[in-house]
Amino acid sequence: MVFAIENRVSLKSLKMTLVALSLLAIISTLYVYDNVVYGTTDRLSSRLLGAARRARHAKWMAQPRKELVWVMSHPYAGADDIINFVERATFKSMATNYGDKHQTRDMQLHNNVKKSVLLQKRWYRQGPYKNNVDFPADTEEVLVKTYCTGYCLHTENGGFCDRIPYSRELVDLGRFWETCAAGTNYKPGRKPEVKRARPYWKNRVKKVILVVRNPLEIVINQWRVHMRDIGEKVSETNFRNYCPLVDAHYLKNKEVKTAFRQKWIKNHIDGVLCVTEFFRIMTWYTNAFDVAYKRTPLIIYREDYVKNSQKTTTAVLKYAKLTQTNFNGLPNVNTAARLYYTDAEKEKIGTFLEAVAKDKSPAWRAFSRYFK
């Protein structure tokens, strides 16, 4: 009786063991099969794997990745002009990092009215975005408007930007580089504040167009837009009242205070109207030239295309391998606004900018033409 019980227990254990071994055999077979079919050491299996991968990505292969050409400029320095010239000359949409702002055929800018459309979703899932809603974006190379961290100057309700975009991301070249590949996007129904887009892969950018403008004109135009936003009159009195206010605000920023303690900068601060803005512009261009010279850049001066927009457009189209199809005229460019600076003040500004640039950087060499 005892033997029968023990025999029955042993038989049950044997069955469980056989089941376990069968499962192990099946798993082992699948594992070996997987290695044979997908292992890289076997030529045939590698070819099968490659064929499967190519089939899986057929849609990607049918749509070659567009090459990005950054158009970099400080706000109010000229990136918009270059994009407008090219879109008008080709009737093709270029791109922007700021998907909450769309242009139309008549070159009008519309903010937060249309959903952001990715330029090429299969390749660039974080941006950039299509710039012009009325034109197709079907060129092999495409210009991408980017202001890097310079995009934030004043808020639309007349306030000032906080420290992170204004100075912290500015003085760190790595952070600056990342902001060049980031922007904003928009979806209808979202709250008024615009969602910031994550940086896309900046190493996809093979070319850079850098637009340079007289820093005196940049500051004046920043101020004019600020006056328009708050409903104030454009006048020399308001400008001279504005500069102490903007300086008092941004001098509180840690990065600005640290920079202004440096002896070679500290000695040239007095007498510079809007000194924090000029510090920011020079630092921005110092970084921008560093980014640009890591590529093979095309440097453009605003005053050159104000005189001859077609010549500049031709150079840009050649650089980006684009073809002009419309010869019925390019958009007009506004000439420089009145500068409220005396000759003595201009000289002090030039000396300050040279001190910030330090060691005759490419940025100062670009700006020096405005202070001779």
Domain ranges of the chain: 2-56, 62-371
Mean pLDDT confidence for 27-42: 46
**pLDDT over 90 (residue 321):** yes
Mean pLDDT confidence for 318-328: 95
Closest residue by Cα to residue 100 from 125, 129, 124: 129
% of residues, the chain, pLDDT over 90: 51
% of residues, the chain, pLDDT over 70: 80
pLDDT of residue 1: 41
CA distance 197 to 350: 36
Helix, strand, coil content of the chain in percent (nearest 5) = 50, 15, 35
| 336-347 per-position pLDDT tens digit | 678 999 999 999
CB 199 within 8 A of CB 181: yes
**pLDDT over 50 (residue 282):** yes
**pLDDT over 60 (residue 266):** yes
pLDDT of residue 55: 58
**pLDDT over 50 (residue 35):** no
Query: What are the φ/ψ torsions at residue 351 (nearest 5 degrees)?
Result: -65, -40
Q: Whole-number mean pLDDT of the chain? A: 84
**pLDDT over 60 (residue 356):** yes
**pLDDT over 80 (residue 359):** no
**pLDDT over 70 (residue 153):** no
Asked, as a colleague might, if the bond just before 128 is cis with ω within 30 of 0, I would say: yes
Query: What are the φ/ψ torsions at residue 210 (nearest 5 degrees)?
Result: -115, 120
What is the pairing mode between strands 129-130 and 95-96?
Answer: antiparallel
